[in-house]
Amino acid sequence: MFRRLSSSLPKDPEFPADLEKLGYYINEKDQIRSIAHPDEEFNFFISKNERVREMQRDAFDTCIRNELSVRFEASGLNITRLPLNAGPSDPHVPILTSSNLATANRLIVYFGESMQDLGIFAHRIIGQDSIASGSALDFVHTIQSREDSANTAVIIANLGQLVWYRRGQRAMTIASWNALPRKTGVGNAMRIDAVKNRVPGNGSTKEHVKSVFEDVLGKLAKQDAVIDVIGLGEGAEEAVGYLDQNWEHWERKVKAICVGLGFVWRVGHEIQNKKILDFWGKRARAYLIHNAPVETPLAGRQELSCNCFSSGEPTFTECIMPRSYQSMLEFFQLVNDFPGYMEAELDIPKDEDDMSRVVRWETGIRAESPRAA
């Protein structure tokens, strides 16, 4: 039997977390482009070696995370560590919270997908359009540009970075964990210890959602603040699942819910609590994968128990938020402006051919609303 010594194996590839050294720059349109070829986006396929591609991608993503960290702080978003008593070097999961969290009368909380870094919606959008549009920046700036912005706080949960890297003293995604340095270029990733590499009270997406509700919304925010909830993919499932189990505590605070869902639906029809199910049918919207213009009404109420709309995104769940958040915020504002507002059931076209003739459906308002006929 023969074996190769580790010294004879290829070294683990290394890339600097520096855009310029990687060959890229941020242009005047906030797009990341190649220095050598300014019309070209990030090139993932620089090698046939998967490990080389993986390590270059992680270095590139680190640059994006560093850039966004500076911009989030400049936009008034602070890092809040969970659990709340954790110090900078203690195991913790970072989330983003507005500086006015403790005084705001209205809260908008976002639960994203479980594979994204904090504050990132879609790397595809960052690559194609801009850093701001593919992250939470444009979303937050839109909220801050409104008249009641001083009274509105934003909370960005972090369902992705739930693995604790002890040596680096930071939380990270599974993708970042797999990109940590290895002894050789063909070595295996480090094993994730179920205790040492997990954060107390935030070891899973379910625990993290509970912590955001009970520790952040329940302890750091005003007790009489109203809450609007946005969930995307697994974030939607976990947020709605938590509310289903704890609705008695939150029913006077949560005013509206929007969810963005891909091709697999595990929201709405699994709600067990009759009170939240009634609320869900009147104050919730689902934005689905579909190529029709944003807010085009779609079938799905029977399965999801709420009105369904096109997200304007035909392919990727992660791109729903950048395409749809404007519509979601308009819905929240409608609910906020008219306390008695309730969604009317949509009149959906009978067949797909009718979709081309659908004019944007104007939301119906029942007798409880001041705008009702």
Task: Confirm if 102 and 220 have CB atoms less than 8 A apart.
Answer: yes
**pTM of this structure:** 0.91
**Same domain assignment for residues 185 and 200:** yes
Q: pLDDT at residue 105 above 60?
A: yes
Same domain, 276 and 297: yes
pLDDT of residue 297 exceeding 70: yes
Phi-psi region of 25 (alpha: psi -120 to 50; beta: other; left: phi over 0): beta
Rounded to the nearest 10°, the torsion over CA 134, 136, 142, 147 is 180
Specify whether 208 is located in the same domain as 249: no
Q: What is the mean pLDDT of the segment spanning 186-211?
A: 94
The pLDDT assigned to 357 comes to 35
Shared domain for 239 and 169, answered yes or no, is no
Do 119 and 31 fall within a single domain? yes
Domain assignment of residue 250, given as a range: 225-373
Q: Does 142 fall in a domain?
A: no
- Same domain as 229, residue 200: no
In a domain? residue 355? yes
- Pick the residue with more confidence: 366 or 218? 218
List, in sequence order, every residue forming a beta bridge with 152; answer none if it has no partner. 106
Q: 305, 269 in Cβ contact below 8 A?
A: yes
- How many structural domains comprise the chain? 2
Confidence of residue 360 (pLDDT cuts 50, 70, 90): very low
Residue 169 · residue 89 · CB < 8 Å: yes
Please report whether residue 72 resides in a domain.
Answer: yes
What are the tens digits of pLDDT across the range 7-31? 668 888 999 999 999 999 999 999 9
Cα–Cα distance measured from residue 314 to residue 345, given in angstroms and rounded to the nearest whole number? 24
Q: Residue 242 pLDDT more than 50? A: yes
- Evaluate whether residue 133 is within a structural domain: no
The set of residues, in sequence order, having a beta carbon less than 8 Å from that of 313 and lying 6+ positions away, is: 289, 290, 319, 320, 323, 324
Residue with tokens 């850039």: 67
Enumerate long-range contacts of 19-25, CB under 8 Å, 24 or more apart.
19/60, 19/63, 22/56, 22/59, 22/60, 22/63, 24/60, 24/63
Last-in-domain residue among 220, 243, 271: 220
Q: Which of 110-119, 289-298, 312-321, 350-359 has the lowest mean pLDDT?
A: 350-359
Asked whether residue 334 is assigned to any structural domain, the reply reads yes
* 188 and 264 co-located in one domain: no
d(CA 21, CA 214): 43
